[in-house]
Structure 1
């Protein structure tokens, strides 16, 4: 089973849910945890990861031979990102805008565009223990998109494990969509605030558009979650778990510790979340 953990905004508790769920499930199942928040991955801070492999992630950047270029502008028309422009005296590539899609070289009528590889980041693969594998992506500073890194990281999904947990980027942009492709279930993490509800609704719209079954986890629950409860009931999405706004949990998190390891009653609660998900997916 492949499960993506996402939220409409940052700071709601995706890492909390991902790491505690991975830790708990690894007691019984073979688990792989993938951190696809490639701009700022942090799941590794909660585990001792034995790194086994690193891979560079490259895109192909266009290089224009301006002696051969006829300034027809077809490359600029084909580029959706404004990364190449044809001026009267030269065709110029803006490297920081280029997504490496290759469209410009394909449409050039005189083959004046070639491509050279450029690293945009890397993926790191390893193992935490015999039951828990780990992977994460890391985007180089200044790069416009981490979709390629997420795509390459997902190629390393181990089909022999029982559960794959994907910790997504916050928001609902292209990297999040890539994290959701070909998965079985989405856990939507939110907080009981007006802002949390607004961004939760964006995430709900996304998973409905992609026809992915989903459930909600409310983090930092203060006991007043009526606005989330009512929204979940209206959208017919179950609330899987409520994690309280608790000083003990916050302190353990700030120390880089998985709170279900130190508060054993939470292991059963996270295990119950997975049992609920299995029932919904079936």
Structure 2
């Protein structure tokens, strides 16, 4: 079972929910796919760390073979190639490693080299396997790292997998959600929060994924995100209060369900609701 936890923006409590669900699930696999800003490891503090570099293929041109036909330049949809002053230039920073230039070159002027774009760190925290994707600053796409992380879940199919997704609704989020069995949408009780909830709601609906909503930072008064769920008949899986103690635990990198029985009950009820909605 793969549970993807996502939100329309950062700071809604996505990692809070992901980490505590994984901790409560018994033997579990936690995948931090927020590769640009991973922070689940700050809570789990995994031990026995192993690191694996993630590389992509980048074209290398043999200027002696290149005739300047520009077929590769015309083919590249990302403007990663340019023919200037009788030389072909490769802009590695924006290359998407599709390999198309290698295929279309009539002179076979291209070879490829490995370029490291980031890494995966794997460790253990109690009964939770913690796998973290880390994208190097300035890299174009974290999709190859996410694909490697999702491959880990296939290798641990016997474990409940909690996927901490990137925020938003970009392509990298779609890559992360694609293999999920159930999606948990985390939302704040504000107009802005409802707007971002609508974004991820549209995404998972288009992708045909079953889902429910967690309303975080609940206070007295209006809750536009809650009203959105009511209007759209979306199941609300749980409500997490806006609580100073929970905020302090979170800011200190503590896992709430390890520290306080009240929070353990809240997240246990949430996990039970997810299992019920997902048909487990």
**TM-score normalised by the chain length of structure 1:** 0.94
Q: Tell me, in whole angstroms, the C-alpha distance in 2 between the residues paired with 1:111 and 1:35.
A: 40
Task: Show structure 1 runs of 5+ residues with no match.
Answer: none
Which residue is 2:264 aligned to? Answer: 267
Q: Tell me, in whole angstroms, the C-alpha distance in 2 between the residues paired with 1:4 and 1:47.
A: 18
Contact 2:240-2:266 within 8 A present in 1 as well: no
Choose the corresponding residue for 2:132, options 133, 136, 142: 136
Which residue is 1:117 aligned to? Answer: 114
Which residue is 2:54 aligned to? Answer: 57
Matched, 1:10 2:7: no
Q: Tell me, in whole angstroms, the C-alpha distance in 2 between the residues paired with 1:248 and 1:278.
A: 27
Q: Give CA-to-partner distance per residue, 1:118-164, whole Å, 9 cap, x none.
A: 100000111112x2111011111111111111111111114343310
* Counterparts of residues 84-123 of structure 1 (less than 5 Å): 84-87=81-84, 89-123=86-120
Q: Tell me, in whole angstroms, the C-alpha distance in 2 between the residues paired with 1:159 and 1:258.
A: 23
Choose the corresponding residue for 1:206, options 163, 188, 203: 203
Which residue is 1:37 aligned to? Answer: 34
Contact 2:256-2:264 within 8 A present in 1 as well: no
Task: Show structure 2 runs of 5+ residues with no match.
Answer: none
Secondary structure of the structure 2 residue equivalent to 1:104: helix
Q: Tell me, in whole angstroms, the C-alpha distance in 1 between the residues paired with 2:173 and 2:273.
A: 24
Shift of 1:275: 2.1
Matched, 1:74 2:52: no
Shift of 1:225: 4.5
Q: Give CA-to-partner distance per residue, 1:227-262, whole Å, 9 cap, x none.
A: 212211222211111111111111111111112222
Would the alpha carbon gap of residues 277 and 111 (structure 1) be closer, same or farther in structure 2, given more than 3 Å must change? same
Q: Tell me, in whole angstroms, the C-alpha distance in 1 between the residues paired with 2:98 and 2:175.
A: 16
Which residue is 2:21 aligned to? Answer: 21
Which residue is 1:182 aligned to? Answer: 179
Matched, 1:249 2:256: no
Secondary structure of the structure 2 residue equivalent to 1:38: coil
Which residue is 1:238 aligned to? Answer: 235
Secondary structure of the structure 1 residue equivalent to 2:152: coil
- Indicate the larger mover: 152-161 or 39-48: 152-161
Contact 2:184-2:213 within 8 A present in 1 as well: yes
CA RMSD, Structure 1 to Structure 2 (Å): 1.4
Contact 1:51-1:124 within 8 A present in 2 as well: no
**TM-score normalised by the chain length of structure 2:** 0.95
Q: Tell me, in whole angstroms, the C-alpha distance in 2 between the residues paired with 1:225 and 1:147.
A: 38
